[in-house]
Amino acid sequence: MQEQIKIYDNVLDDGLRQFLVNKFFGLKTWELHGSETKEEINDSKIVRNFFYSPIADETINHLFTYHLRRLIEKRFKVVRSYVNCYSLNNGSDWHQDDGELTFLYYPQDWKQEYGGETIIKIDDREVPVSYKSNRLLVFPAKLYHKAKPHTNPVGFRFTVAFKTEEKE
């Protein structure tokens, strides 16, 4: 069941991780994404909107691909990549991704009490994966998943998503 999910910690050396974090925080083009549904959580309204920015810099895609191939046995190509940005107390709705495998990278320094887990549905179970700096989560793109709200006092939860297809 959980073998469909692969978790890799300490994926990048700290210099490269920090370089990427600086690149992501410096992105200038952000688009509003998500839904307008609201739900009650702990007596407060949660709006399921977040921002994303496509990664137009092919160097970043090549850097990631190079480092990820050391971990992943399958050959793959990146079809689409972007950075997600969730504001304070915000998460996402259940959704599936395009492509075959989703690579979700957690670049930020993070404390567990901030929350912000990724929840993945496998059969009838909801499997939580904690946000942890320099962690990579890999799972089949067709599995339903969502981001839980977070309480990071800096105000944002960033993830980097790479949608991939197997390379022949």
Say what the pTM is. Answer: 0.83
pLDDT in tens, 128-138: 999 999 999 99
Mean pLDDT of 3-27: 84
Determine the structural domain holding residue 77 and report its residue range. 2-166
What CATH number is attached to the domain comprising 80? 2.60.120.620
User: Which residues have C-beta within 8 Å of that of residue 7, sequence separation ≥ 6?
Assistant: 129, 135, 136, 137, 138
pLDDT in tens, 18-75: 887 777 767 666 666 655 444 544 555 545 566 666 666 677 777 777 777 777 777 7
Number of domains in the chain: 1
Mean pLDDT of 154-166: 86
Count CB neighbours of 45 within 10 A.
9
Task: Please tell me the number of Cα atoms within 13 Å of 90 on its side-chain side.
Answer: 19
